[in-house]
Amino acid sequence: MFDASFPRASLFTSVVAFGVAALAVGLGVVFALIGMALNRLSRRDVPA
């Protein structure tokens, strides 16, 4: 019983780590898209 709990906890930890990494990649893509949209909006000519 004790021998099986360590690999199981290790696998669960790796699954959580992959989820955190996917979240970081997803947030990076979202922030990059927001940055590009704001950059495009700031280049528009504003009539004076």
The tokens describing 38, both together, are 């704001």
The tokens describing 48, both together, are 């004076």
Number of domains observed in the structure of the chain: 1
pLDDT in tens, 1-48: 567 788 888 889 999 999 999 999 999 999 999 999 999 998 877 666
| Sole residue written with tokens 């955190």 | 20
**Domain carrying residue 42:** 1-48
Give whole-number Cα distances, 9 to 1, 2, 4, 15, in Å.
13, 11, 9, 10
- Per-residue confidence (pLDDT) for residue 1, from 0 to 100: 56
Residues shown for the chain? 48
Number of neighbours of residue 5 by Cβ within 10 angstroms:
9
What predicted TM-score, i.e. pTM, was given to this entire model? 0.70
Q: Quick one: CA dihedral 13, 15, 16, 20, positive or negative?
A: positive
